[in-house]
Amino acid sequence: MTPALSALLRGALRLDRGADHAQREQCLEAIRDCVERFAYALSMMIAGHDAPAGAIDPLLLARMQGALRPFLARGDVMRPDFGAFGDLRVEGALLDAGEPVLAVLEFDDRCVREAADGSLVPARLRRLRLTMRVELDPVTVIDCVVAEVLPRSA
């Protein structure tokens, strides 16, 4: 292989990698946006409002609404406060739109319960983890597992 051809190939490879990188960044942005909308929808639900459509698969939405019914049925609502920042980790093949990726969001539950009688009860100040399966085309959360993050010493 001549030095000129070798240089050309290296350049072409770099271009390919650059395009992949751009696509991956774009995908990450879309996932980040989807997770934010999902978290927003979740906060709407615990606040006793309808969740906005879009970021959540309807089946998952129905399941979550059903799960929350015993809480909302008492007339209680939450004033959602998940802290100022969440920690988002994305795992998966971002260049393969056919396979869902995994998004893990951790945040602090600082919500305040507003009981039906108007009294306010602060939450337990714990850290929660949402593990979400995110479909990429269109970007939608199709499944979610909620868990409490225990302190490392525990």
Show contacts with another protein in window 32-61 (CB under 8 A): 32, 35-36, 39-40, 43-47, 49, 53, 58-59
Told to check if 112 binds another protein by CB under 8 A, we report yes
Told to check if 77 binds another protein by CB under 8 A, we report yes
Of 55, 82, 136, 139, the one binding another protein by CB under 8 A: 82
Phi and psi at residue 122, to the nearest 5° = -65, 155
Pick the closer one to another protein by CB: 3 or 70.
Answer: 70
Of 30, 97, 113, 149, the one binding another protein by CB under 8 A: 113
Long-range contacts for 39-43 (Cβ within 8 Å, ≥24 apart)? 39/82, 39/86, 39/105, 39/107, 39/130, 42/130, 43/78, 43/80, 43/82
Taking a C-beta distance cutoff of 8 angstroms, is the pair 136, 122 a contact?
Answer: no
Pick the closer one to another protein by CB: 3 or 118.
Answer: 118
